[in-house]
């Protein structure tokens, strides 16, 4: 039954009780037991300052900066701070957005428009990137009519293969992407080498520093070997970096930097064709609360240079212990980790291991890898300052869970998942044009209508997402990406439709 608006408003106590009930199954983002997307510094006073800033500006709308010029001042300060970290000059400018994907959208729009202005709209512009690049580039391409070409990575360093990037470039290439670091493995792409290719071919190079932008500079000052990846390198046109990751601001804060104002001009949207007020949007969204901007401003000024360096030291300490602990337990590290590390093993079912760790309260993400590109399945750990307090306890549980999984034979459910995956994979051809894609979607719709409820039941999703997600990740790993994307989209659609 659908929920309707209550006839009479609820009291504040009842509202807060209901919200607590809704969040009762949420994991605690402050616990230090998440190695996924919770960027926790372990500084309680910081949260108080950020929340106060949010309350001050929650009902001010960034859409109309003529009414609320405070947003211009706060954004300028944050862009300047980001620019200084990226060694930009006075020509560098930027925009505050609500997330890395939005920042990437603006970079892709600018690169696309730059390409069209140079060559005309005679083809579909292309983005060339390592296979480890974030899916938000595919999303931006889908929204804005580009094509993404993902290429192999170096099999030893697990970073971008410069030769593979160079080989994939054509006259249609509008953008090259480098990650510092990439999300799956935490390795840093060779930006300097890619910039030489970009300059030689006259192509836009975007550096995705959404993860590393606010932490790698401080780790480098603490003695870590971090290669240059910023505006000191000729050829870098834009850089995205997220304060809501390693600047530890509340979620919904990113910055996109452009080497000059003409590049940013291409990223903006303006419309004065209607009879209403002038629309000039520096970002993708129009109406935006100033709350998250103010919280980001408050956070970076609260911590300052000394605070960020102290937190970087904690990350380094935690990372070194985690790397040693995983190696001692028999795991192999993929590449040279930064603030993210990925571990693999040929002896273990890593999906089951992630479930065993979840039973002990540790959230570690299993990753399917790409076997035909020699990227093995792995465990992903995002390491934050709070893990300096919890790493040792996690590693003790890792030893126990590793031995348990080693001694357990494959289950019947694992065999069924593999069989089911093989059956579904037969629906997807290797290469698809529009007609084949339409046929696949039609077949998937029929299959989901018939088998969808059963799939939800088999995966244990009738009452919501379980804490142990290994079987679901394992099923998706067995499927071709096209089928896996459709199946996971169906599951998410059902979960949100049911509200569970």
Please, are residues 185 and 214 in contact by the beta-carbon 8 Å criterion? no
Q: Using CA atoms, how far apart are residues 96 and 255, in angstroms rounded to an integer?
A: 5
Whether 367 is in a domain gets the answer yes
Considering the entire predicted model, what is its pTM? 0.91
Residue 346 sits in the same domain as residue 467: no
Residue 400 sits in the same domain as residue 446: no
Whether 354 is in a domain gets the answer yes
Alpha helices in 23-159 (DSSP H): 44-57, 70-85, 100-119, 136-144
Whole-number pLDDT of residue 485: 80
How does DSSP assign 274-298, residue by residue?
SSSS-EEESSS-SS-BSHHHHHHHH
Whole-number pLDDT of residue 408: 78
CATH of the domain at 346: 3.90.1150.10
Q: Using CA atoms, how far apart are residues 110 and 41, in angstroms rounded to an integer?
A: 34
Q: Using CA atoms, how far apart are residues 142 and 386, in angstroms rounded to an integer?
A: 37
Q: How many CA atoms lie within 13 A of 96 on its CB side?
A: 28
Which residue, of 380, 407, 434, is where some domain finishes? 407
Whether 309 is in a domain gets the answer yes
C-alpha distances out from residue 162 to 100, 329, 408, 486, Å: 24, 33, 42, 32
- Quote the tokens at residue 492: 């998410």
Nearest to 133 by CA among 125, 123, 141: 141
Residue 225 sits in the same domain as residue 132: yes
For 160, the 3-state DSSP assignment is: strand
pLDDT in tens for each of the 500 residues of the chain?
A: 788 999 999 999 999 999 999 999 899 999 999 999 999 999 989 999 999 999 999 999 999 888 999 999 999 999 999 999 999 999 999 999 999 999 999 999 999 999 999 987 678 999 999 999 999 999 999 999 999 999 999 999 999 999 999 999 999 999 999 999 999 999 999 999 999 999 999 999 999 999 999 999 999 999 999 999 999 999 999 999 999 999 999 999 999 999 999 999 999 999 999 999 999 999 999 999 999 999 999 999 999 999 999 999 999 999 999 999 999 999 999 999 999 999 999 999 999 999 999 999 999 999 999 988 999 999 999 999 999 999 999 999 999 999 999 877 766 555 555 665 565 555 555 555 556 656 666 776 776 677 677 777 777 777 777 777 777 787 777 777 777 787 788 888 888 878 87
Whole-number pLDDT of residue 261: 97
Please, are residues 101 and 242 in contact by the beta-carbon 8 Å criterion? no
Residue 62 sits in the same domain as residue 155: yes
Residue 467 sits in the same domain as residue 338: no
DSSP-derived letter for residue 250 is P
Residue 238 sits in the same domain as residue 284: yes
CATH of the domain at 197: 3.40.640.10
Q: Using CA atoms, how far apart are residues 442 and 455, in angstroms rounded to an integer?
A: 18
Alpha helices in 386-469 (DSSP H): 387-406, 412-425, 434-458
Q: Is 134 exposed, middle or buried (0-12, 13-18, 19+ CB in 10 A)?
A: buried
Whether 479 is in a domain gets the answer yes
DSSP-derived letter for residue 373 is G
Domain that holds residue 200: 53-271+278-299
Whether 292 is in a domain gets the answer yes
Residue 328 sits in the same domain as residue 384: yes
| CB atoms inside a 10 Å sphere around CB 127 | 24
Whether 484 is in a domain gets the answer yes
Edge-to-edge strand list for the sheet holding 332-333: 332-333, 340-344, 378-382, 365-367
Whole-number pLDDT of residue 142: 95
In the chain, the number of structural domains is: 3
Whether 43 is in a domain gets the answer no
DSSP-derived letter for residue 61 is B
Which residue, of 407, 437, 467, is where some domain finishes? 407
Taken in order 358, 364, 369, 374, the sign of the CA dihedral is negative
Whether 434 is in a domain gets the answer yes
Residue 386 sits in the same domain as residue 492: no
Estimate to the nearest angstrom the gap between the alpha carbon of 498 and the chain centroid: 26
Residue 287 sits in the same domain as residue 315: no
Residue 250 sits in the same domain as residue 343: no
Q: Using CA atoms, how far apart are residues 324 and 320, in angstroms rounded to an integer?
A: 6
Residue 139 sits in the same domain as residue 167: yes
Whole-number pLDDT of residue 466: 75
∠ CA 279-127-483 to the nearest 5 degrees?
Answer: 100
Which residue, of 358, 380, 407, is where some domain finishes? 407
Estimate to the nearest angstrom the gap between the alpha carbon of 355 and the chain centroid: 22
Nearest to 38 by CA among 308, 385, 358: 385
**Residue partners of 97: CB distance under 8 A and separation at least 6:** 103, 106, 254, 255, 256, 283, 284, 285
Residue 152 sits in the same domain as residue 193: yes
φ/ψ of 161, rounded to 5, equals -90, 105
Helix H or strand E encompassing 219: helix 216-221
∠ CA 270-176-368 to the nearest 5 degrees?
Answer: 110
């Amino acid at each position: 039954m659908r929920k309707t608006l209550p006839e009479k408003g609820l009291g504040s106590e009842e509202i807060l009780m209901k919200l607590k009930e809704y969040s009762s199954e949420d994991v605690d983002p402050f616990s230090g037991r998440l190695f996924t997307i919770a960027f926790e510094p372990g500084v309680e006073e910081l949260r108080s300052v950020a929340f106060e800033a949010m309350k001050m500006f929650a009902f001010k709308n960034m859409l109309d900066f003529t009414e609320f010029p405070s947003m211009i001042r706060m954004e300028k300060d944050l862009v300047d701070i980001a620019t200084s970290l990226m060694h930009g000059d006075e020509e560098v400018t930027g925009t505050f957005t609500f997330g890395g994907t939005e920042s990437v959208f603006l970079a892709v729009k600018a690169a696309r428009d730059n390409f069209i202005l140079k060559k005309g709209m005679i083809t579909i512009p292309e983005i060339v990137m390592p296979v480890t690049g974030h899916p938000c580039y595919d999303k931006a391409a889908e929204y804005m009519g580009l094509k993404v070409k993902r290429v192999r990575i170096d099999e030893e360093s697990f970073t971008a293969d410069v030769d593979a990037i160079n080989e994939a470039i054509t006259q249609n290439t509008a953008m090259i992407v480098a990650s510092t670091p990439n999300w799956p493995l935490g390795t840093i792409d060779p930006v300097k080498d890619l910039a030489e290719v970009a300059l030689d071919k006259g192509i836009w190079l975007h550096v995705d520093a959404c993860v590393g932008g606010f932490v790698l500079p401080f780790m480098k000052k603490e003695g870590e070997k971090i290669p240059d990846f910023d505006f000191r390198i000729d050829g870098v046109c834009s850089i995205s970096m997220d304060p809501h990751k390693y600047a530890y601001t509340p979620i919904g804060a990113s910055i996109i930097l452009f080497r000059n104002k003409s590049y940013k001009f291409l990223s903006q949207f303006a419309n004065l064709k209607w009879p209403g007020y002038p629309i000039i949007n520096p970002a993708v969204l129009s109406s935006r609360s100033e709350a998250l901007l103010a919280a980001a401003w408050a956070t970076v000024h609260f911590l300052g240079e000394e605070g960020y360096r102290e937190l970087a030291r904690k990350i380094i300490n935690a990372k070194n212990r985690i790397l040693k602990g995983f190696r001692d337990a028999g795991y192999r590290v993929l590449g040279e980790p930064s603030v993210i590390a990925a571990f693999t093993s040929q002896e273990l079912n890593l999906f089951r291991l992630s479930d065993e760790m979840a039973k002990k309260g540790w959230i570690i993400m299993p990753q399917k890898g790409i076997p035909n590109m020699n990227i093995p399945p792995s465990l992903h750990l995002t390491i934050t300052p709070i893990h300096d307090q919890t790493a040792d306890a996690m590693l003790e549980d890792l030893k126990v869970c590793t031995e348990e999984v080693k001694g357990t034979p494959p289950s019947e459910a694992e065999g069924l998942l593999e069989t089911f995956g093989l059956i579904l994979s037969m629906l997807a051809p290797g290469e698809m044009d529009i007609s084949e894609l339409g046929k696949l979607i039609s077949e998937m719709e029929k299959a989901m209508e018939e088998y969808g409820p059963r799939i939800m039941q088999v995966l244990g999703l009738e009452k919501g997402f379980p804490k142990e997600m290994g079987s679901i990740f394992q099923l998706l790993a067995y499927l071709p990406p096209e089928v896996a994307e459709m199946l996971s989209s169906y599951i998410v659609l059902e979960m949100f439709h049911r509200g569970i």
